[in-house]
Structure 1
Amino acid sequence: MTEDQVFILAILAAAAAMFLWGRWRHDMVALAALLAGVVAGVVPAADAFAGFAHPAVITVACVLVLSHGLQASGVIDILTERVLPEAAGPTLAIAAVTGLAAILSAFMNNVGALALLMPVALQMAARQNLPPGKVLMPLAFGSILGGMTTLIGTPPNLIVSSFRSGLGNASFSMFDFTPVGLAVAAAGLGFVALVGWRLVPARKGAGAEEFDTGAYLTEARVSDKAKAVGMTLREIERVLDEADAQIVGLVRREFRVTAPNPARKVQAGDILIIEAEPKALAAVLSTLNLTLEEAVTDQKGETEKAEGAAEAAALPEDILLREIAVLPNSVLAGRSASDIRLRSTYGINLLAISRQGQRSIARLRTMPIQPGDVLLMQGTPDAIADFAAQCGGVPLAERSLRLPDSRQAFIAAAIMLASVGSAAVGLLPAAISFAGGVLASMAFRTVSPRRVYDAVDWPVIVLLGALIPVAEAMATTGTADLIARLLLDGVARGHAIVALGLILVVTMTLSDFMNNAATAAVMCPIAIGTANSMGASADPFLMAVAVGASCAFLTPIGHQNNTLILGPGGFRFGDYWKLGLPLEVIVVAVALPMLLLVWPL
């Protein structure tokens, strides 16, 4: 083993450990791996950022923008209204929603497709009297399965295609992935709809009625001699922190302010709406010399649900409670309510957080928010909607049809179809075709030019751009061939079919714990090295990587969609394998013979 091979293996091992640890975001890990490769001399400094100009990276960014155009124009809402059955049993309803998710994911961002259909799925679960997770997990898995059917369906397919072009061959075309991917997706969707949804653990979701705040909402009047007079709300909340209490509203001269600005000074005669644990309520009032105006909740001391407490607080009609699911890569991740200044910036309150089925209000202002959390927000509909759109959250409520302009919806659909068509028939390379689609979207205003860059998932772009040179270093240093020989000699023992199955299973296993794009970038050089060592075509091995990287069903961290349903479904880490494991067995059973049939060794 050469020195360069030792360096690149050490870098990849450290990167894999960091991906699994999850403390750093995946784009940070990828960038650190790239810089380490440059310092170690295995990645030429002149080529360090060449990955950002790679066609696969450009295509991913453009597809994200076009997906945003489909969402904003109302195209998806029309499909949802016309395709999903209003009255059907659970099997047919789940089959319909997962099938639609798979179709959408073949041509748009998987996370975007899931986010659009989640409110519909929750409404469907309520109508069928099912726990929300029974619909959400099939929906998430269906969107993942659909992504493997086309070139643009998921970033791993684009990465695999780019490695094929690096061999001197043409890149995979738009529908080269379809024969194998469609067979696997059809088998997986059939299993999920007929049998699989019954295997999903029945957990309570994080609806507002399920948030047990364990707290009183109490009105406390500020008397003339109260210590609170002249203090800002921020100063008062520092005192309330000791009792895990918070101010959720203020009444001044009969005018009620929800989520008052922390810089506002308290005056005599003001009424503070305080949320506090029952045991701590007396201490809160005495510390600030506040007078109990009127207990908002049950005087018997019974803990009230957040929804009931809010109703009892006699909030204005335009103030409501709404649950927001935090998207992967949301700007909220790792930040607290205090960090993002919820009240002063958005005019809303954070009342509770649900995380993996555990609900809490303790230290909400300083609790770091995580992807998959469900936030119970209080505020006006417009304020909550603006917050969700700007910060990367999905409102978990029934959506009305969003069709601001039927002409725009038609144009957005036509642009996507034209982009896909020109790439599919080879009229233009995929990156050029979709870049043209983005330009058309901006020209016809289906995507606002001001918001076009907001539609791009930049952490994914950085991940791809940084890892492509590192993955190429595996090939140039001979590390990929070394790993391939070890796999062949130790496990496959010269059998090509066994080697192909091994590549598929190893890729699937890594994808359950690592970002799928990172998994594809690491496994492609190994797949090519394995094929070269056996004197076989690289195509079936690359396709095995594409399928394996897209099939992360065992954990909530393997795919962004799995993370997104964690809170709304009330799931725990170990709930995924109960449906995911048999689904992955089906994937291997269908994919392996299809790979051999469509892409002969």
Structure 2
Amino acid sequence: MQQDQLLTFAILGITIGLFLWGRLRHDVVALMALLACVLLGLTPTANAFDGFAHPAVITVAAVLILSHGLQVTGAVEAMAQKLLPRQGGVLLGCSALTLLGALLSAFMNNIGAMALLMPIAMQLAQRHALPPGKILMPLAFGTILGGMTTLIGTPPNLIVAGFRAEQAGNGFGMFDFSPVGIVVALCGILFTVLAARWLVPERRKHDAASFDTGSYLTEVHIGQGSKAAGKHLGEVERWLDDSDAQIVGLVRNDFRVTAPHPGRLLQDGDILVIEADPDDLGAVLTLLGLKLEESVRPESTPAPEDSEIDDSPPATRTERAEDITLQELVVQPGSLLNGRSASDVQIRSRFGINLLAISRQGHRSIRRLRWTELHAGDVILMQGPAEAISGFASEFGCVPLAQRSILIPNRRKAITSVLIMLGAIVLAASGLLPAALAFTAGVLGFMLSGVVPLRRIYEAVDWPIIVLLAALLPLAGAMASTGAADLLAKTLLEHLAQGSPVLALALVLVVTMSLSDFMNNAATAAVMCPIALSVAAQLQVNPDSFLMAVAIGASCAFLTPIGHQNNTLILGPGGFRFADYWRLGLPLELVVVAVSVPMLLWVWPL
């Protein structure tokens, strides 16, 4: 093994290890890998940032903006209302919803499709008195499967097409992924919808009045005149029994006591940390004459230096009582709230709303609510004017669990956005323009027609994904130029595939799928494409078969909540645990392998 090959393997191994560790963001890890390649001489300095001009990266950014336009204009919502059945059994409703999610994911960002259809899924679960996870997991898996069917359905397909263009002179077309992708997606959706009844665990009971996200931790203030003041803690706990609530902590003089003694005497100014269902909070407050801590505490101290500065005036606090609402929001993957607290982002002073409670997979935090760091999948209960909550959710990337109040449909803009999107697809599919130019033209159409305000255009781009792709492409190039990919492919062929092209194809698919369960799917595709091309070259078979295997494998992350952002998105609302996904995900991946290998051999013969 040569020195440059050894260095490439070391960087690749460390990069994958950091991806799996999960403590650093994917784009940060990718930039570290890029810098290491440049410093060690594996990537020429002049070519370090060529990835940012790669057609696949440009196309991903353009598709994200077009997807955003379809969402904010209400085009997707209108489509859902027309296509989804309003009556019928749960199997029909779940099947229609999952198929719609797959269809939308073929032409727009699948995370956006999931976010839009998620409230409908919870309404369907409520209608049939089902745990929401029974509908949410099939929908999440369906939107992931739908992405593999077209060039723009998911970033891995664009990455694969880019490698094909470098290897053969022209990339895959808009619908080259469809023959195999559609069959695999339909078989996967059919299995998922039918098997979800038995394989998706029931983690939450469903209530007819609202979607149950589990117990919340809420802080309440004991003020003058409160029935709890001067009483022993044990006596107050007995009063709460009828409300199915319990006291799990006490804060006095900013000092928190976990599991306080029942004999402790409560005083004015104490803060009780109560675990209760959101629907029972009103009864608890009325019973004890308490107030929510967020509504009585003074403005928080200035935020840390790394919090955002906002020059806009604070939201008004003179709203009428009937204008104040309670709404549950889910923190999305990639949200600006990830790793930050309510105090960090100055929720009260900037938006005039309160964070009342947090639900996180049944786990309790020992920190105060306003200092607790939020993470993807958390369900947060917000109080304030509906418009202010909508603005907060839109800015920080949260999905409302109740009726969607963020989107304000605009019929004219919705029709315009659909026509522009269809035009871009036709230009790309017909070959009149390369995909990157066709969808960039679509973005320009959005700008000129005002479908998306100019100030919001660049906010629609998931910049960590863009940086991740652009930074990993030079690493993939180093694997090819140093011969590291050839060496790894030769090892796989000799020890596992034993020279069989069919076994090698299945092996590439399974390895890609396994990596995608634990690391970003675009990163997986960028790592596996050079290996797949090298395997095909050594076997002297059609490289397109192996590139398509990488595309399918990178789009099939069903075993963990971290494999795909849609899996993370349903973690809190579905009440799922880390180990719940493999019950349905593992047999689904076996179905994908069983269907895709014969289809690849038929559509893309070796």
TM range (shorter): 0.7 to 0.9
What's 1:374 paired with?
379
Query: What is the CA-CA distance between 1:359 and the residue it aligns to?
Result: 5.3
What's 2:427 paired with?
422
Tell me the distance in 1 between the aligned counterparts of 2:561 and 2:489: 29
Tell me the distance in 1 between the aligned counterparts of 2:211 and 2:369: 16
What's 2:514 paired with?
509
Note if contact 1:350-1:376 (Cα within 8 Å) is conserved in structure 2.
yes
What's 1:54 paired with?
54
Note if contact 1:214-1:277 (Cα within 8 Å) is conserved in structure 2.
no
1:399 is the counterpart of 2:404: yes
Tell me the distance in 2 between the aligned counterparts of 1:435 and 1:528: 29
Moved more, 51-60 or 316-325: 316-325
Given the superposition, is the C-alpha separation of residues 427 and 303 from structure 1 closer, same or farther in structure 2, using an over 3 Å criterion? closer
Q: Which runs of 5+ in 2 are unaligned?
A: 227-249, 292-320
Note if contact 1:485-1:530 (Cα within 8 Å) is conserved in structure 2.
yes
What's 1:93 paired with?
93
Tell me the distance in 1 between the aligned counterparts of 2:263 and 2:114: 41
Query: What is the CA-CA distance between 1:425 and the residue it aligns to?
Result: 0.7
Note if contact 2:134-2:196 (Cα within 8 Å) is conserved in structure 1.
no
What's 2:160 paired with?
160
What is the letter of the counterpart of residue 360 of structure 2?
R
Query: What is the CA-CA distance between 1:376 and the residue it aligns to?
Result: 1.6
What's 1:344 paired with?
349
What's 2:298 paired with?
none
Query: What is the CA-CA distance between 1:41 and the residue it aligns to?
Result: 0.9
Tell me the distance in 2 between the aligned counterparts of 1:374 and 1:596: 45
Match of 2:369 among 359, 364, 371: 364
Tell me the distance in 2 between the aligned counterparts of 1:516 and 1:95: 26
| SS at 1:158 equivalent | helix
Tell me the distance in 2 between the aligned counterparts of 1:287 and 1:80: 49
Query: What is the CA-CA distance between 1:345 and the residue it aligns to?
Result: 1.6
| SS at 1:320 equivalent | strand
1:242 is the counterpart of 2:255: yes
1:220 is the counterpart of 2:234: no
What is the letter of the counterpart of residue 243 of structure 1?
R
Moved more, 338-347 or 553-562: 338-347
Given the superposition, is the C-alpha separation of residues 217 and 364 from structure 1 closer, same or farther in structure 2, using an over 3 Å criterion? closer
What's 2:297 paired with?
none
What's 1:527 paired with?
532
Note if contact 1:216-1:304 (Cα within 8 Å) is conserved in structure 2.
no
Tell me the distance in 2 between the aligned counterparts of 1:150 and 1:557: 23
Given the superposition, is the C-alpha separation of residues 172 and 215 from structure 1 closer, same or farther in structure 2, using an over 3 Å criterion? closer
Query: What is the CA-CA distance between 1:284 and the residue it aligns to?
Result: 5.6
Query: What is the CA-CA distance between 1:354 and the residue it aligns to?
Result: 1.9
- Structure 1's consecutive aligned runs of 4 or more residues displaced over 4 angstroms after TM superposition are 205-211, 213-216, 237-240, 276-284, 301-304, 311-315, 359-362, 400-403
Match of 2:554 among 549, 557, 579: 549
| SS at 2:359 equivalent | strand
What is the letter of the counterpart of residue 142 of structure 1?
G
1:70 is the counterpart of 2:75: no
Query: What is the CA-CA distance between 1:287 and the residue it aligns to?
Result: 7.3
Given the superposition, is the C-alpha separation of residues 43 and 85 from structure 1 closer, same or farther in structure 2, using an over 3 Å criterion? same
Note if contact 1:354-1:567 (Cα within 8 Å) is conserved in structure 2.
yes
Tell me the distance in 2 between the aligned counterparts of 1:284 and 1:395: 37
Note if contact 1:243-1:284 (Cα within 8 Å) is conserved in structure 2.
no
Note if contact 2:200-2:580 (Cα within 8 Å) is conserved in structure 1.
yes
What is the letter of the counterpart of residue 55 of structure 1?
P
Match of 2:327 among 322, 328, 338: 322
What's 2:394 paired with?
389
What is the letter of the counterpart of residue 372 of structure 1?
G
Note if contact 2:75-2:409 (Cα within 8 Å) is conserved in structure 1.
no
Tell me the distance in 2 between the aligned counterparts of 1:74 and 1:214: 34
Note if contact 1:343-1:349 (Cα within 8 Å) is conserved in structure 2.
yes
1:461 is the counterpart of 2:444: no
Q: Alpha-carbon deviations, 1:504-526, whole Å to 9, x = none? A: 00000000001000000000000
Tell me the distance in 2 between the aligned counterparts of 1:458 and 1:205: 38
What's 1:192 paired with?
192
| SS at 2:572 equivalent | coil
Note if contact 2:119-2:400 (Cα within 8 Å) is conserved in structure 1.
yes
Q: What does residue range 423-438 of structure 1 map to in structure 2 within 5 Å?
A: 423-438=428-443
What percentage of aligned pairs have identical amino acids? 56
- Give the length in aligned residue pairs: 547
Note if contact 2:34-2:471 (Cα within 8 Å) is conserved in structure 1.
yes
1:307 is the counterpart of 2:279: yes
What is the letter of the counterpart of residue 544 of structure 1?
A
Query: What is the CA-CA distance between 1:407 and the residue it aligns to?
Result: 1.4
What's 2:268 paired with?
285
Given the superposition, is the C-alpha separation of residues 222 and 463 from structure 1 closer, same or farther in structure 2, using an over 3 Å criterion? farther
Tell me the distance in 2 between the aligned counterparts of 1:590 and 1:77: 32
1:451 is the counterpart of 2:456: yes
Tell me the distance in 2 between the aligned counterparts of 1:407 and 1:547: 37
Query: What is the CA-CA distance between 1:399 and the residue it aligns to?
Result: 2.7
Given the superposition, is the C-alpha separation of residues 408 and 363 from structure 1 closer, same or farther in structure 2, using an over 3 Å criterion? same
What's 2:31 paired with?
31
Note if contact 2:114-2:566 (Cα within 8 Å) is conserved in structure 1.
yes
What is the letter of the counterpart of residue 476 of structure 2?
A
What's 2:576 paired with?
571
Query: What is the CA-CA distance between 1:312 and the residue it aligns to?
Result: 5.8
Tell me the distance in 1 between the aligned counterparts of 2:523 and 2:411: 39
Query: What is the CA-CA distance between 1:422 and the residue it aligns to?
Result: 0.5
Tell me the distance in 1 between the aligned counterparts of 2:141 and 2:477: 31
| SS at 2:255 equivalent | helix
Given the superposition, is the C-alpha separation of residues 552 and 210 from structure 1 closer, same or farther in structure 2, using an over 3 Å criterion? closer
| SS at 2:431 equivalent | coil
Query: What is the CA-CA distance between 1:75 and the residue it aligns to?
Result: 0.6
Note if contact 1:213-1:360 (Cα within 8 Å) is conserved in structure 2.
no
Q: Alpha-carbon deviations, 1:1-57, whole Å to 9, x = none? A: 111111111111111111111100110011111001111111111111100000000
What is the letter of the counterpart of residue 159 of structure 2?
I
Tell me the distance in 1 between the aligned counterparts of 2:387 and 2:283: 19
Q: What does residue range 263-274 of structure 1 map to in structure 2 within 5 Å?
A: none
| SS at 2:558 equivalent | coil
Tell me the distance in 1 between the aligned counterparts of 2:322 and 2:554: 48
Query: What is the CA-CA distance between 1:310 and the residue it aligns to?
Result: 3.4
Tell me the distance in 2 between the aligned counterparts of 1:205 and 1:173: 46
Moved more, 360-369 or 475-484: 360-369
1:485 is the counterpart of 2:485: no
Given the superposition, is the C-alpha separation of residues 304 and 9 from structure 1 closer, same or farther in structure 2, using an over 3 Å criterion? closer
What's 1:585 paired with?
590
Match of 1:441 among 443, 446, 455: 446
What's 1:22 paired with?
22
What is the letter of the counterpart of residue 148 of structure 2?
M
What is the letter of the counterpart of residue 526 of structure 2?
A
What's 1:149 paired with?
149
What's 2:203 paired with?
203
| SS at 1:450 equivalent | helix
The Cα RMSD (Å) is 2.5
TM superposition score normalised by structure 2: 0.86
| SS at 1:379 equivalent | strand
Tell me the distance in 1 between the aligned counterparts of 2:436 and 2:538: 32
Given the superposition, is the C-alpha separation of residues 211 and 446 from structure 1 closer, same or farther in structure 2, using an over 3 Å criterion? same
Given the superposition, is the C-alpha separation of residues 340 and 279 from structure 1 closer, same or farther in structure 2, using an over 3 Å criterion? farther
Query: What is the CA-CA distance between 1:405 and the residue it aligns to?
Result: 2.6
What's 1:102 paired with?
102
| SS at 2:546 equivalent | helix
Tell me the distance in 2 between the aligned counterparts of 1:326 and 1:215: 18
Note if contact 1:205-1:357 (Cα within 8 Å) is conserved in structure 2.
no
Query: What is the CA-CA distance between 1:470 and the residue it aligns to?
Result: 0.7
Note if contact 1:208-1:323 (Cα within 8 Å) is conserved in structure 2.
no
Note if contact 1:209-1:307 (Cα within 8 Å) is conserved in structure 2.
no
Note if contact 1:145-1:188 (Cα within 8 Å) is conserved in structure 2.
yes
Given the superposition, is the C-alpha separation of residues 55 and 156 from structure 1 closer, same or farther in structure 2, using an over 3 Å criterion? same
